[in-house]
Copies of this chain bind each other. A is one copy, B any other.
Amino acid sequence: MQRVSVKLDDSGHLAAIGATVRARRQEFGVSQEALAHATGIDRSHMGRIERGERNLSILNLIRIADALDISPSRLLKAAGL
């Protein structure tokens, strides 16, 4: 098993996830502040997640997905993962 080379670089993955969260949130008509409050994630941290600047944790991904009424796996799939 040779070492995995990340096909799409890390920042590409994070940008895709952030854009997917933002699109879903806007589709939902929810402000970034409301999503931050609903998930217990700091608002500025949420902004960085949406801009693809944060390697978010699985539990934060699950909280965000829950708040946006989508399964975590569907959210990742929508991000092309």
Contact = CB atoms under 8 A, between A and B. Distances in A.
Interface of A: 1-4, 6-7, 10, 13-14, 17, 30, 34-35, 37-40, 55-59, 61-63, 66-67, 71-74, 76-77, 81
Contacts of A63: 4, 6
Given A17-B58, A39-B4, A59-B14, A73 B81 contact: yes
Contacts of A56: 57-58
- Chain A interface, DSSP helix/strand/loop, else mixed: helix
A66 B7 CA distance: 9
A22 to B, nearest CB: 16
B37 A62 contact: no
